[in-house]
Structure formats: structure tokens, C-alpha cells
A = this chain, B = another copy of it.
Amino acid sequence: MIVLSEKIKDDILNNVLPKGVPLRQVELSKRYGVSRIPIRDSLLALKAEGWLVPHGKAGLMVPNLHWKEAEELYLMRSQLEVLLLSFAFDFIRQKDVTNAHKILVALEQDEITLIEKGNLNWLFHEILYLPADKQSIHKTVSCINQQVTRYIGFQYGPMGYKSQSQQDHYELLELIRLKKKSAALSLLKQHIEEAGEELTRFLKSID
């Protein structure tokens, strides 16, 4: 088996597991075909990562989505990712730009799922951040982006294809190619902030 906790995480992302009600260890052990021990191992790890939260005195649950959390996740993204890009900027090679471009092309496909789109989106940004060589920050940002993915299904679903975001991506690559650092940083900041505002606005509307 791959890793059980990753499988559970996937099911949280795909809204297979119910939100707001306690997850029962015996149910999960039947669903995943293992005993309660590896289930517990995974649940406790997911709790530590923020994927699950306590439910009353005992039990863990998938937290309900809330616009306030989404807003904060995007605030952290804009702060930390601009920092990463600023450190990475001078070390981004032509090869990185090419790889990032390939991701954008893949993102144009229609048949990919919303979750896959979220993953590709992070992969694109990650390529630009890796040359910064800031492992701790990168890990934190990666974690935040995984959390963001929980909201993406909602964002892309009712909102349809986000062409502005894709346009920003291409423009960002062009600015990097032209070594226009401050313009690139500004664009990235604005790009993340606008995506956050759009998502927050939508989540508020369905609240």
C-alpha cells in the first residue's frame, strides 16, 4: 500500500469523508481494510497537520470549510511565497521556466479533475520556489497549499475556468525570463491576493 494517511487525506480532499461529524475508527478500519492501529496512527498524524480537529472530548472530525480560514491561508501564501520567489529569483534557470511552462500547458486540459488542477497549480509555483533553497519555509508553504486544495473544489466548481489566474501565470514566467524582479514579485503578490479574494467572496456567498 502507498501510505494510509495519504489515502485518507485524498478522501478528505475529495469530500468522501463527512465534515463536522466524528470519524469512527472501526468504520474507517473496515473501509480501508486494516485494523484500528494503523488507522489511529494516520488520524493522529493528520490531526497534527491540521487535516482533522477534535470533536468534543473524544473523536476527530474533518473540519468544516470556512471563508475565514481560506482568507488566512491566502494571506500566509502571499507573504511567504513572495519571500520565496525573491530568494529564488536570481537562481531560476531557463530549464525551470521551461518546466513551469509545461505545467501551464497541462493545466489547459479540460479532462483533469479539480483536485489535479490544484496540484498542478502548486507544482507550477513550486518550480519557481525551489531554487530559493529554503527547505523549512518551503515545507510550511507546501503544507499551506495542501490545505488550500480543500477549498479548490468549491472554487473551480461553481466558478468555472479561471482564465485570469492562467494569464497571470504566463505573464509571471515572462517577467522572470526578462529578469524583471520587482515586477515579478508584485505580480505574484497580486496574483495570490486576488485568487484569495475571489475564493473568499465565493465562500461567503454560499455561507
> Which residues of chain B are within 8 angstroms of A135 by Cβ–Cβ distance?
68-69, 72
Q: Which stretch (A39-47, A94-102, A118-126, A163-171) binds chain B?
A: A39-47
Q: Across the interface, do A136 and B79 meet the contact criterion of CB distance under 8 Å?
A: no
Check if A136 sits within 8 Å of B46, measured CB to CB.
Answer: no
- Nearest CB of B to A145, in Å: 13
Q: Are B50 and A139 in contact (CB under 8 A)?
A: yes
Q: Does A28 contact B (CB under 8 A)?
A: no
Complex-state Cα separation, A83 to B82, whole angstroms: 14
Within 8 A of B (CB), among A21-74: 37, 40-41, 44-50, 68-69, 72-73
A88 in the interface (beta carbon within 8 A): no
Q: Could you say which residues of chain B place their CB within 8 Å of the CB of A139?
A: 50
Q: A48-B46, A136-B69 are in contact. Are A80 and B79 (CB under 8 A)?
A: yes
Question: Looking at the complex, which one of B45, B80, B137 makes contact with A44 (CB distance below 8 Å)?
Answer: B45
Residues in B neighbouring A68, C-beta threshold 8 A? 135-136
Residue contact B41 to A76, C-beta cutoff 8 Å: no
Nearest CB in chain B to that of A50: its residue = B139
Residue of B nearest to A40 (CB): B41
B-chain residues with CB within 8 Å of residue A69 when the two chains form the complex = 135-136
Given contacts A48-B49, A79-B79, could you give 17 more A-B pairs where the C-beta distance is less than 8 Å? A40-B41, A41-B41, A44-B45, A44-B48, A45-B48, A46-B48, A49-B49, A50-B139, A68-B136, A72-B134, A72-B136, A72-B137, A75-B83, A76-B80, A76-B136, A79-B80, A79-B83
